[in-house]
Structure 1
Amino acid sequence: MAKTMRVDKLLGHTGWGTRRELKELCKGGHVTINGAVCRDSSQKVDPAADVIAVDGQAVSYEEHIYLMLYKPAGVVSATEDNVSPTVIGLLPRQYQGAGLFPVGRLDKDTTGLLLITNDGTWAHGITSPKQHMDKIYDAGVEGDIPADLGERFAAGIVLDDGLHCLPAQAVQTGPQSLTVVVQEGKFHQVKRMCAAVGLKVVRLHRRSIGSVVLDARLEPGQFRPLTVAEREALKGRSR
């Protein structure tokens, strides 16, 4: 049986406006279904079979959306915020009504790979520490990097509040730089783990999640859809 939905729900999902705005859009004759004007915003359509257009512009509908974003500094990993710009606000209009959210979070000053979706099951398979999904970060630090850094991270860092982190990896890559690999995403985790060994993180960039690496062609603030292979590689962990 075909999966149908109201035309205003479909148009709202694809960023064409609020339900009230879409009702007026239909009343004004701006919406067509298979070439016929639709003046009833509650009319049912089949997204897989019907051609819906607004002022002649075809509307492309996807139930689930999977994006890779190069998160810049200065934006928060949230759907909305009263003070700061959000990662969802970086996306164009057609994504604004789709119920998208960031998969996990990066601190406001942290840059790099952030996944965005509206598929909760898929997202859980990435964020749950039980899935053992590696997240790789490059960190610039201040302080004396201890000689036994790798051993201390591998043993499981204990944070200042007594929280025991899962075993992680840390490798010195320069005079004041590290690569850190973690499998969980607690609040300020990489920064707090570094603080536990006497280091202050002054720059943090996430370059990969699992096998998915931030696309080198993206600039800060830019995004692209995940490829099917990337999406499936991460989805495999959620089953």
Structure 2
Amino acid sequence: MIRLDKLLTHFGCGTRRQVIDAVRRGRAQVNGKTCCDPAAKVDPEQDEVRFDGVVQSYQKHRYLMMNKPAGVITAVSDRRETVVDLLPEGERRGLFPVGRLDRDTEGLLLLTTDGQLCHALMSPRRHVEKVYLARVSGGLAPDAAARFAEGMQLRDGTACRPARLEPAGEEEGLPLWRITLREGKYHQVKRMVAAAGGRVEALRRVSVGTLELPPGLPPGSWRALTAEELTRLLAHIGEASGPPDG
């Protein structure tokens, strides 16, 4: 048995506070009857739970999106603060981050208990797109976009797949660039920008596959994926497989 508000938060119906308020307003139904008690106990495998009339299906695995703040390590445990440390203790069990963002990089990070999904998203054979916004100083070479598109060789000889580099306005007085990758090498965005003559002053990931960072999710905050977000992401992974690396 589990509290109704905790279950609906798990289903992605809102933050815990939003769900509590919604339940008290009569937006939740258990087995066809309106339930206004957020603390009511329900059995997710036996009871039919609806939110705003929509049946909420129980998931074997958990899927959370976080807006990772700068200064936090992408790891399950470390002597320094980790992304898992940002979660309430009761929410941490079994969760691990999918991939990693550098300590000073912000933005979209997926945490899950689903190892198969993690493997699919991280596999270089899937070519899942990851989009970043980079605030850059120093000025990029005039042919930077073309070099990104052709596939760049870094200063240490590392070969990078073709990527997209697009202007995205300004931020804090510096040019902002939208960078789309289909792989995830060590410090790749920073190293590619450096190879093109610039320096990344701030970096934020805004999407992974079909999953986008919500504008209303502050740094350090998290929420469960909605059923629609998860369905779209799983479908995208199935469609994104490419030829073997060679």
User: Normalised by the size of structure 2, how large is the TM-score?
Assistant: 0.69
1:79 is aligned to 76
2:138/2:199 contact within 8 Å kept:
yes
- 1:121-136 alignment to 2 at 5 Å? 121-136=116-131
Do residues 96 (structure 1) and 103 (structure 2) align? no
Distance 2:88 2:126 in 1: 32
- 1:177-196 alignment to 2 at 5 Å? 177-196=176-195
2:67/2:106 contact within 8 Å kept:
yes
Q: Which letter maps to 2:90?
A: Q
Query: How far is the alpha carbon of 1:162 from its aligned partner?
Result: 1.2
Distance 1:151 1:212 in 2: 27
Q: Which letter maps to 2:235?
A: G
Distance 2:139 2:237 in 1: 39
Distance 1:136 1:163 in 2: 20
Deviations 1:41-91 (A, max 9, x none): xxxxx98359xxxxxxxxxx8531000100001101100111x20001111
2:140/2:193 contact within 8 Å kept:
no
1:103/1:127 contact within 8 Å kept:
yes
Which consecutive unaligned segments of at least 5 residues does structure 1 have?
A: 1-13, 15-45, 51-60
Distance 2:218 2:111 in 1: 16
Distance 2:232 2:99 in 1: 17
1:31 is aligned to none
Q: Which letter maps to 2:138?
A: G
Distance 1:170 1:70 in 2: 23
Distance 1:205 1:238 in 2: 22
Distance 1:171 1:112 in 2: 18
Q: 1:117 aligns with which of 101, 112, 116?
A: 112
- 1:32-47 alignment to 2 at 5 Å? none
Distance 1:144 1:216 in 2: 28
Which of 121-130 and 151-160 deviates more?
121-130
SS at match of 2:67: strand
Percent of aligned positions that are identical: 46
SS at match of 1:131: coil
SS at match of 1:185: coil
1:125/1:235 contact within 8 Å kept:
no
- List structure 1 runs of 4+ shifted beyond 6 angstroms: none
SS at match of 2:72: coil
How many residues are aligned here? 183
User: Normalised by the size of structure 1, how large is the TM-score?
Assistant: 0.71
Distance 1:105 1:173 in 2: 24
1:169/1:182 contact within 8 Å kept:
yes
Deviations 1:76-123 (A, max 9, x none): 1100111x20001111122222x1111111110111110110101111
Distance 1:138 1:179 in 2: 5
